[in-house]
Structure 1
């Protein structure tokens, strides 16, 4: 049996990062829980102080219900070191696809993500490993790869 989980990403400002990753992963903003008009109303019901409300969209979900919910948690400290783990965005179609086709698909996805606010940091290409990927960072500097 699989275990359900939520991925939590620390950030400075939730909504822009949530919207970036929603577009990047083809996710959507998480719906407001039943019985509440807004996420702020829901958070108030949990006792969250008023000065911590108003952050807008802070979580996203897979519209197909297959992937995990992702919550963007606002924290006071800035990112200071490399991530201990990161997301890999699979755009290539896998090793059954010819390397040149995978390279084109990865480049197209990296270009799309850069237009959304990501930054390309390097290309990882090892012909002898039959591998091609682009390392990137999201708008707050979190590392991820497109392969």
Structure 2
């Protein structure tokens, strides 16, 4: 039997980081709990102080297929390289012509840079100058790759 799971990303500003990942993944803000029209209504009903409303955020696949992702406010900044990261697989795989793969990778990267990402490094295929993927960081420095 499998176990249901979600991914949670620690961050300083959950709303900011969640918005970025909505752009990166094509996700949307998760719906409020059943019976509530908005998150604000739910937070008010649960007596959550307004200064805690950005302590968490959640985004979901609009098709309901892929796992949701949560963002949790933590006091400490990221200190070391992520040991777990997302690979955004946009190039179509190595069977695709290299010029198309690179074009798709760079197009996605340009969109993400506009949304607040930073390019860390272009990573070539082994022993070549041919682009394999881009190592990037989200607005708070969380690593991910565009492949």
Q: Into which bin does the TM-score normalised by the smaller protein fall?
A: 0.7 to 0.9
Corresponding residue for 2:88?
Answer: 89
Alignment of 1:1-147 (within 5 A): 2-42=2-42, 49-50=48-49, 53-55=52-54, 58-126=57-125, 132-147=132-147
Contact 1:29 1:57 in 2 (8 A): no
Unaligned runs of 5+ in 1: none
Q: Distance in 1 between matches of 2:9 and 2:53?
A: 18
Query: Which is further off, 80-89 or 54-63?
Result: 54-63
Name the Cα RMSD after superposition: 2.4
> Does 2-11 or 52-61 show the bigger shift?
52-61
Distance of 1:35 and 1:94 partners within structure 2: 43
1:33-59 deviation per Cα after TM superposition (whole angstroms, max 9, x unaligned): 1122433554566x6752653218711
User: Cα offset for 1:65?
Assistant: 1.1
TM-score relative to the length of structure 1: 0.87
Q: Between Structure 1 and Structure 2, how many residues are aligned? A: 146
SS in 2 for 1:67: coil
Q: CA deviation at 1:3?
A: 3.7
Deviations along 1:72-127, one digit per CA (max 9) or x if unpaired, are 00011111111111000011011221122101110111111101100001001126
TM-score relative to the length of structure 2: 0.87
Cα distance in 1 for residues equivalent to 2:131 and 2:4:
31
